[in-house]
Amino acid sequence: MSSYSLTEVSDPKSIKAFLDFPAKLYRNEPNWSRPLDEDIEKVFDPKKNKKFRKGDAKRWILKDGDNNIAGRVAAFFDTTTATKNKPQAGGLGFFDCINSHDAASTLFNACRDWLEDKGLEAMDGPINFGERDSFWGCLVDGFHEPLYNMPYNFPYYRELFEAYGFENYFNQYTYHRKINKVSMKDEILQKAIRVFDNPDYTFEIFDKSKINKIAEDFSIIFNAAWARFPGVPKITKVHSLALLNQMKPIMDKRLIHIAYYKGEPIGFFIMMQDISQILRNFNGKLHIVNKLRLMYHLRFRRTVTRIIGRLFGVVPGHQGKGVEAGLVVAFERLA
């Protein structure tokens, strides 16, 4: 067995090593795009990640016998999520490693031992210490340029996880289609037309002068459409407003659509520009110069050619009536 040693990430030097290692590992992989350092550090900042209120996290970097970094990983848990699972599970994520079973096992063992000490009975990974829309999952098929904060890893990662004993828990898919290049299925189009012909249904795009009302409408729809499912917490107007304000710097009003029935909010379709097409040249840094570059590319160069569907929901009473089709067609008419 090769000689490997673990170093806990606890100071600026080790944080930098944790953030920089993937850039070295994937230096010859054209599809890989470095995430923003600040997006990762937010995950591990107790002041910015509410998961720390009832949980904890720890990170490590792995060095070989020649003191070269060979891997990195993080382990984490929050009691709210853990107690909903049987057995109670903690998480493992931000795993990157050379193609070595010994190296991977050393990282996995560190996570397992730490989680056991915290009273956890199982380990789920690779996942995020946060929401599922970022840094979640192990890519096993479709090794193309990833979307913003979507996972990208070497094909051998799957074998490293399975050889250690991980078993597939569920499959997560990302779909894509061309806009204005592929004809909408007639069945979907006809459903949308029926809704458009009904004056009780209206569709609106984002209007920043109405941001407070939109935040309230969004929370109403989300709570009716999604919060009824186990594990999905309700969202408040304050939280909705914070999310919209967070999106404002890269927001395109054409990408936020809200459906109403007799003036009552019943559905939404929220998208964002895939800024990874710009960020891939930023080397993980979003300092003032890169912020200006980002705004320039978004507003003047139109560099981004992809969008990401972030949230889609229709309240139960209007599901299956064509509102879903109406939201999609309303967007494509503006695209």
pLDDT in tens, 52-95: 999 999 999 999 999 999 999 999 999 887 667 778 899 999 99
Q: Which residue has the tokens 């249904």?
A: 201
On whether the CB atoms of residues 40 and 57 are closer than 8 A, the answer is no
- pLDDT for 35 equals 94
Q: What is the pLDDT confidence band of residue 201, given thresholds at 50, 70 and 90?
A: very high
Tell me: pLDDT of 1 over 70.
no
Q: What is the pLDDT confidence band of residue 181, given thresholds at 50, 70 and 90?
A: low
On whether the CB atoms of residues 157 and 98 are closer than 8 A, the answer is no
- pLDDT for 227 equals 81
Torsion of CA 277, 278, 284, 290, to 10 degrees: -170
- pLDDT for 176 equals 80
Q: What's the first-to-final CA gap in the chain, in angstroms?
A: 56
Task: Indicate yes or no: pTM above 0.75.
Answer: yes
Average pLDDT over residues 87-108: 96
DSSP E strands in 138-212: the ranges are: 201-205
Residues linked to residue 56 through DSSP beta bridges, in sequence order = 77
> Can 5-164 and 186-334 be said to share one CATH topology?
yes
- pLDDT for 162 equals 97
Tell me: pLDDT of 295 over 60.
yes
d(CA 22, CA 28): 11
Percent of the chain with pLDDT over 70: 96
- pLDDT for 334 equals 72
- pLDDT for 183 equals 63
Q: Mean pLDDT score of the chain, rounded to an integer? A: 90
Percent of the chain with pLDDT over 90: 62
The enclosing H or E element of 31 equals none
- pLDDT for 182 equals 55
- pLDDT for 153 equals 97
Residues linked to residue 23 through DSSP beta bridges, in sequence order = none
Average pLDDT over residues 170-177: 84
In this predicted model, which residue has the larger pLDDT, 312 or 25?
A: 25
Tell me: pLDDT of 131 over 70.
yes
- Determine how many CB atoms are found less than 10 A away from the CB of residue 253: 11
- pLDDT for 138 equals 97
Q: What is the pLDDT confidence band of residue 273, given thresholds at 50, 70 and 90?
A: confident
Sheet holding 256-261, edge to edge: 201-205, 256-261, 264-273, 307-314
CATH of 5-164, one of 3.40.630, 3.40.640, 1.10.10, 3.30.70: 3.40.630
Assigned fold of 186-334: Aminopeptidase (3.40.630)
- pLDDT for 120 equals 93
Q: What is the pLDDT confidence band of residue 244, given thresholds at 50, 70 and 90?
A: confident
Give per-residue pLDDT as tens, 139-170. 999 999 888 889 999 999 999 999 999 999 88
Query: Judging by beta carbons within 10 Å of its beta carbon (0-12, 13-18, 19+), is residue 203 exposed, middle or buried?
Result: buried
Tell me: pLDDT of 230 over 80.
no
Torsion of CA 223, 227, 228, 232, to 10 degrees: 180
- Residue 179's closest CA among 273, 248, 81? 273
Q: Omega before 265 cis (within 30°)?
A: no
- pLDDT for 335 equals 63
Every domain of the chain and the residues it spans: 5-164, 186-334
* DSSP secondary structure, 65-130, as one string: TTS-EEEEEEEEEEHHHHTTSSS-EEEEEEEEE-S-HHHHHHHHHHHHHHHHHTT--EEE-S--SS
Tell me: pLDDT of 279 over 70.
yes
| Strand duo 256-261 + 201-205: pairing | antiparallel
On whether the CB atoms of residues 326 and 193 are closer than 8 A, the answer is no
d(CA 80, CA 259): 33
Residues linked to residue 271 through DSSP beta bridges, in sequence order = 309
Residue 105: phi, psi to the nearest 5?
Answer: -65, -35
